[in-house]
Amino acid sequence: MDKLIITAALTGAEVTKELQPNLPTTPDEIAEEAYQCYLKGASIVHIHARDKERQPTQSFDIYKEIKEKIEAKCDIIFQPSTGGAVWHGPDERLQPVDLKPEMATLSCGTCNFGPDVFMNSEEYMEKFASKMKELGVKPEMEIFERGMIENAKKLAKKGLVETPMHFDFVLGVPGACPGTPEDLLHMMRAIPEGSTWTVAGVGRHELPLATMAIILGGHVRVGFEDNIFYSKGELAKSNGQLVERIVRIAKELGREVATPQEARKILGIGR
Ligand code: KMH
Ligand code: ZN
């Protein structure tokens, strides 16, 4: 079994400081939080930028600042979001890809997202995939519903995404696929052989699904984007605290944790 890749999803587009006072939102806060997660055992950081009013933004300049600040501290893999917030348009969402990061997310279909709709038409997906291919950015295929795996396979068939693909099952988003153990099993069995996968369980699903992934040979995403709590009713102190717990569980279960360099090798991204 490969070593475990832990992704820290630090900020997201939906969480506010009112909900989670320790949410990192400025480039300095995000870079420091990324570094702390790296020290605890994360090998990828999934980044959403915020503007000065702490609103989600896909600004090239702000992502650039965050990327440079993180790279000054450590070699964790920088993975910007191209999902942004539900109201961002496709060109706006694509801006951080121009930084030529090692990875970026690629959402593989449209779904409900709480009270909103997260729009990812075939046209968007092909546009995002083509641009990432052109710039040598490894897409992480974001899967919110089972049918999205078929969309990802279609992108690969068209030669817009290289194989083996890396998937992230985001399970438990209100309005999309629930986060039961059966849902994760269904998803992992549906991806092409040789693919790698991560699970991001939303809210109370984070810990059980992460534990399943550790056992099943998948990888794990944790962080305030997906879950702001450490346990029921108890807010987490930091993203690092959530990473630390996964490292501890992995150790107990006999699964070694990957460094960023080891994660690059597992994912087939060069440096
Ligand atoms: N904020 C969601 C609407 C991604 O980062 O690629 C989309 C999202 C996915 O978070
Ligand atoms: Zn995201």
The two structure tokens encoding residue 183 = 């849902």
Residue 212 burial (CB count, 10 A): 17
Structure tokens at 251: 């150790």
What is the reported pLDDT for 146? 98
Query: What per-residue confidence (pLDDT) applies to 77?
Result: 98
**Is 90 exceeded by the pLDDT of residue 240?**
yes
pLDDT of the residue at 271 = 56
Best CA proximity match to 3, nearest among 270, 205, 271, 267: 267
Evaluate: CB of 212 within 6 angstroms of ligand 1: no
Which tokens go with 227?
């879950």
Higher-pLDDT residue of 170, 271: 170
105 lines ligand 1 (CB under 6 A): yes
- 84 CA to middle of ligand 1, Å? 5
Summarised one tens digit per residue, pLDDT across range 18-55 is: 999 999 999 999 999 999 999 999 999 999 999 999 99
Ligand 1 pocket: which of 16, 63, 79, 81 to mutate (most atoms <8 Å of CB)? 81
The closest ligand to the CA of 128 turns out to be 1
pLDDT at position 268, please?
Answer: 97
Q: How confident is the model at residue 213 (pLDDT cuts 50, 70, 90)?
A: very high
175-195: per-residue pLDDT in tens? 999 999 999 999 999 999 999
At residue 226, what is the residue type?
A: D
Distance CA 249, CA 208 (A): 11
Choose among 4, 53, 44, 93: nearest CA to 239.
Answer: 44
**pLDDT per residue over 137-178, tens digit each?**
999 999 999 999 999 999 999 999 999 999 999 999 999 999
pLDDT attached to residue 251: 98
Mean of the per-residue pLDDT values for the chain?
A: 98
For residues 251 and 238, the answer to whether their CB atoms sit within 8 Å is: no
Q: How confident is the model at residue 270 (pLDDT cuts 50, 70, 90)?
A: confident
Pick the ligand that lies closest to the CA of residue 84: 1
Q: Domains (ranges, CATH) in the chain?
A: 6-267 (3.20.20.70)
Contact residues for 211 (Cβ-Cβ < 8 A; gap 6+): 249, 253
Q: Is the pLDDT of residue 119 over 80?
A: yes
pLDDT of residue 136: 97
- φ and ψ of 68, to 5 deg: -65, -40
pLDDT average, residue stretch 50-73: 98
Q: Please tell me the distance between residue 134's alpha carbon and the centre of ligand 2 in angstroms.
A: 22
Nearest atom (ligand 1) to Cα of 106: 6
pTM: 0.98
Asked if 49 and 95 count as a contact pair (C-beta separation under 8 A), the reply is no
